[in-house]
Chain A
């Protein structure tokens, strides 16, 4: 090393200037580290140290984030049963994410490394489509997506869905294909199950639709033949012809019933029955049906539980399964019928009808016949599917079984293999309800009296029912729809003992007709008629209300029998929770009040009222509100609370200004009725000058459990609840308004001898609606509804 003193003066000057620059840089804070020349170790300055530590921490944090992201991706891929694959097109190298191996039933170390090796994992039949998808992607640059099967080492095939994208270099050369693959075996299975159930559903709808019209025709054929037969002498040859027609119609009716049973639209009244008893009874008939070369073994467990079903339907299920089993054993064999209790630990959706976990009673029908392959098995419950020759079977047997079991909320398990017999297991939910007592049918008198209001849209059916009823001595009022029925119910002088109405009709349905007629004539009994109750809500309603129901097609005999039975019974309430105030005249007038009219002159003095108004005013505690001698008094004396006054003033002003009526609906409840009334305020010129008329009519009336809260006769405390005068909801004092039922429940008012007083007010919703109506923001003849109720808001 040269001693510094030997350096040239210029070099020395340079070293000095550099030293000076170093000191300046140090002072300016531009130095990170100083080297200890004796040890050769760099010493970081504090600032640099801190910065380095920070960046190191950042790096660590980033590493953690990256690791977590990788973990998440790994988890997502694993749980979605997805894999990432990559094919290097240049080096023909194939690679995949660790999750992919599991989708192929392989260990991670068994991953394929070339395109050829990967393709060899794909099902032979699908390889071509995957290869062409890859080729297409390379050629057109579009992402490709294809479904294919992969074969696992155990030979099983699994469905995969693959999507891929080509990655290119800057000059467009395809470099590699990256893609994701997903195991879709489960999706495929579900899709297949769904399409199977949709197919059955569609066939059911079709069958049900045809059966509906068919039933109407059969009712006509059966009824006319039955009416005509007695009119012909026994010697008349035409009598036999007619009986032949009737027999054919009866056979057709039986077939229609089977179709309806399949489409589970048959209306039946299920009872709680012991499965073994039903099967034992049905089994007796079997002995006559079964051929001699078939051994019938009945193995009924005596302790099998109870199920909710229709006995005749279960007998039919047994019969159809047994006949089927026998036909599977042309050379004889053994037919075993057994019952047992079964508990499913978990849901089973693998079968034709999915079964939820729970307790069941199983009926098993086992044969030792030829069995079925899977293809046959997948079709056996379809109507008109048959393996028998033409004319040997209708193909409706198992379809009927399917319909009945589905209707009974049960399921069917089919175990079969070619050459080793078949077992059908019908599982119905086990119930703990008491057994239904058997009812013995009464002898029916043949001639009756009374008036029947018949509502039926099909003219042919209406005609034959009319003739049958008249034939047996009834007076019949006929209507083709609900509107006509209402007119008759309103105008007919004298009682109407029975309303007989079709359930499904265009426009107003049978249920509404019944409610309408009952509203006018509470004593009238109701008989519903239908062959097609597709409406689930209606079915539930019929079942829940225990209403009388006659199923199409019916014979005159069945019709008269049913009519007699209904007339002899007590009227059934239409709503399950009806609780009327027996013998209350007040209530009856309130309910029947149809149209209330009063009118005002130009100075708002009442110039006229109709009779209904008088009745309603008196009954509606009108005496307190409206002093006697109402004519000539100002309307404003008659309305007590000021919000109501303000609304009426506003509405009157609008009607007078524009000369157009306003219409709105509001609530006018009574303790036993919920009533939505329509109010129409109209301006009319008259001889004595223009008058404004107020017309009120009920829009909707519904019975309810008597609401003592509304009854003014109940003692009141000083506690005050506010009720909106328009929607009749009650305020909780915190801006929430609720139906009376809800308030009664919440405030626990049931059973209190002294109830809170009710003060009338107006809720925000009604104020808003009425303000818009008064301002005329709404079109002429406008409507507003305050306090309309839905089923859910009023169910106590």
Chain B
């Protein structure tokens, strides 16, 4: 019964404040821009979203199939998976204003 009602209940309205931030960063091993992107992203996340995000780092040198599936053409590429919409940001993520915009915080 409970299961049923759960299915039928309307989906909660997605909101940047309540939905957990889910990210995937595509990098190319220890290449300089990949390292910079990783560092820039983690610093910013720890400052603004400490404990409230999930980050998956994918190395295209070891797992290229994931990148192909996600339609990623270059690295570093950051994919915001949740909250929707899915968005991408390419580059070393040194522009923190743009990064925050992507993450949903103006």
Contacts and interface: CB of A to CB of B under 8 A. Distances in A.
Contacts of A21: 89-91
Interface stretch (A40-48, A293-301, A374-382): A40-48
Contacts of B29: 52
Contacts of A30: 33, 76, 90-92, 94
B35 to A, nearest CB: 9
A55 B90 CA distance: 23
B32 A42 contact: no
Contacts of B89: 21
Contact of B31 (A26, A35, A48): A48
Interface in A6-43: 14, 18, 21-22, 24-26, 28-35, 37, 40-42
A30 B91 CA distance: 5
Interface stretch (B16-24, B41-49, B60-68): B60-68
A85 B94 CA distance: 48
A32 B32 contact: yes
Interface string A364-390: 000000000000000000000000000
B74 A52 contact: no
A21 B77 CA distance: 11
Contacts of B60: 33, 35, 42
Contacts of B87: 14, 18
B28 to A, nearest CB: 4
A25 B90 contact: yes
B74 to A, nearest CB: 5
Nearest to A47: B32
Nearest to B72: A35
A88 to B, nearest CB: 33
Contact of A32 (B65, B76, B94): B76
Contact of B33 (A24, A31, A34): A31
A48 B32 CA distance: 6
B65 A18 contact: no
A32 B72 contact: no
A55 B75 CA distance: 18
Contacts of A34: 73-74
A534 B28 CA distance: 84
Contacts of B11: none
A35 B65 contact: no
Contacts of A28: 91
Nearest to A29: B33
A41 B74 CA distance: 11
B104 interface: no
Contacts of B94: 30
A21 to B, nearest CB: 5
A42 to B, nearest CB: 4
Contacts of A35: 60, 64, 67-68, 72-75
A55 B30 contact: yes
A181 B73 CA distance: 59
Given A41-B64, A42-B61, A22 B74 contact: yes
A51 interface: yes
B90 A33 contact: no
A460 B72 CA distance: 116
Interface string B87-106: 11111101000000000000
Given A25-B90, A30-B91, A40-B64, A51 B73 contact: no
Nearest to A44: B28
A225 B28 CA distance: 112
B54 to A, nearest CB: 22
Nearest to B87: A14
Contacts of A47: 32
B27 A32 contact: yes
Contacts of A18: 87-88, 90
Given A14-B85, A48-B33, A32 B90 contact: no
Nearest to B37: A30
A38 to B, nearest CB: 10
Given A14-B87, A25-B74, A32-B75, A44 B31 contact: yes
A51 B73 CA distance: 21
Contact of B64 (A24, A42, A51): A42
Nearest to B76: A32
Contacts of B28: 32-33, 42, 44, 48
Contacts of A48: 28, 31-34
B73 A22 contact: yes
Contacts of B64: 35, 40-42
Given A25-B74, A40-B65, A31 B90 contact: yes
B31 to A, nearest CB: 4
B77 to A, nearest CB: 8
A32 B68 contact: no
A21 B67 CA distance: 18
A51 B90 contact: no
Nearest to B89: A21
Contacts of B85: 14
A35 B92 CA distance: 17
A25 B32 contact: no
Contacts of B76: 30-32
Contacts of B30: 51-52, 55
A1 to B, nearest CB: 10
A37 B72 CA distance: 9
A392 B94 CA distance: 102
Contacts of A22: 73-74, 90
Contacts of A14: 85, 87
Nearest to B69: A40
A392 B73 CA distance: 109
Contacts of B91: 21, 24-25, 28, 30-31
Contacts of B72: 35
A285 B94 CA distance: 108
Nearest to A23: B90
Contacts of A31: 33, 74-76, 90-91
A25 B91 CA distance: 5
A336 B30 CA distance: 86
A25 B30 CA distance: 18
A728 to B, nearest CB: 76
Contacts of A52: 29-31
Contacts of A32: 27-28, 31-34, 74-76
B34 to A, nearest CB: 5
A41 B75 CA distance: 12
Most interface-central of B28, B64, B88, B92 (chain A CB within 10 A): B28
A29 B27 CA distance: 15
A52 B27 CA distance: 13
B74 A33 contact: yes
Contacts of B74: 22, 25-26, 31-35
A21 B31 CA distance: 20
A26 B73 CA distance: 11
A18 B70 CA distance: 14
Contacts of A33: 28, 31, 60-61, 74-75
Contact of A51 (B31, B65, B75, B88): B31
B56 to A, nearest CB: 17
A25 B85 CA distance: 22
A155 B31 CA distance: 60
A22 B32 CA distance: 17
Interface of A: 14, 18, 21-22, 24-26, 28-35, 37, 40-42, 44, 47-48, 51-52, 55
| A-B pairs with lowest CB-CB distance, top 3 | A25-B91, A32-B31, A48-B31
10 contacts: A31-B90, A32-B31, A32-B32, A35-B72, A35-B74, A37-B68, A40-B65, A42-B61, A48-B28, A52-B29
Given A24-B91, A30-B76, A33-B60, 19 more contacts: A18-B90, A22-B74, A25-B91, A30-B33, A30-B90, A31-B33, A31-B91, A32-B74, A32-B75, A35-B67, A37-B68, A40-B64, A41-B64, A42-B67, A44-B61, A48-B34, A51-B30, A52-B30, A55-B30
